[in-house]
Amino acid sequence: MIEALLSFVVATCVLALSPGPDNMYVLSQSLVNGSKSALATTAGLISGCIVHTTLLAFGFSAVITTNPSLFFGIKVVGALYLLYLAYAVFKSDATLEFSQNAPKKSSSQLFKQGVLMNLLNPKVMLFFLALFPQFLWQPQTDTVLQFYILGITFMVVSFIVFATIALLAGRVSAFLNKKKHTGVFLKWLQILVFLAIAAFILVP
């Protein structure tokens, strides 16, 4: 069990550090709105993993992924949600959106947005389905408990990695906020990140 968990932790660290839609989104949020906002987003993204873990543990993930119509429907909804977020940022005023006194989304709003982004990305489900079974230490016994142990481990490790990214990028954000015309750059950075994740979800 210990060996399997240690191997899983190493694999999770490598995957969390590898450039991907989640850590790129956390990075962009930290640059745009600071570390606190990015940490709230991270908490939302990670919390959504408990749902994917539950679906995996009880076999629902396999049912969803083997149903092409249902799986495609989830992908479309997820992509549309991200396009909506990109449009909302596009309609915002860059000179106001990123000023120090501008109203920003609350931590609870960012948390909910992170959860929705995670749940509406069916590739997370596929990822769990492909990765987790490889690290079961007793596949012939209580796999539900093992899946939950792996899921919680994944959440803790990923949160630590993403939080580190958020805190480091937050320092850069403080510097950027002092520069003129940074708002336009950060506005389009967010839009491009949302569009890239939407494309990532839709591409087979």
pLDDT in tens, 54-92: 999 898 877 877 888 888 888 888 888 889 888 887 876
* Tokens (6 digits) for 195: 């569009």
Helix pair 107-119, 21-33: axis angle to 10 deg: 160
3-state secondary structure of 178: coil
Assign 101 a pLDDT band (cuts: 50, 70, 90). very low
Per-residue model confidence (pLDDT) at position 176: 60
Q: Where are the domains of the chain?
A: 35-202
**Rounded-to-integer distance, Cα 155 and Cα 51, Å:** 11
* pLDDT confidence of residue 103: 44
Query: How many residues in the chain?
Result: 204
CA 127 to each of CA 53, 109, 135: distance values in angstroms, whole numbers, following the listed order? 11, 26, 13
Count of CB atoms situated within 10 Å of the CB of 150: 26
Q: Using CA atoms, how far apart are residues 10 and 12, in angstroms rounded to an integer?
A: 5
Give pTM, 2 decimals: 0.77
Instruction: Give the list of residues 6+ apart from residue 85 with CB closer than 8 angstroms, or none.
Output: 113, 194
d(CA 154, CA 5): 10
Residue for token pair 């968990």: 5
Eight-class DSSP state of 100: T
Sorted by sequence, the CB contacts under 8 Å of residue 144 that are 6+ apart come out as 57, 58
Show the DSSP H helices in 58-204 as ranges: 60-65, 68-91, 94-97, 107-119, 122-131, 143-176, 182-202
More confident residue, 44 or 192: 44
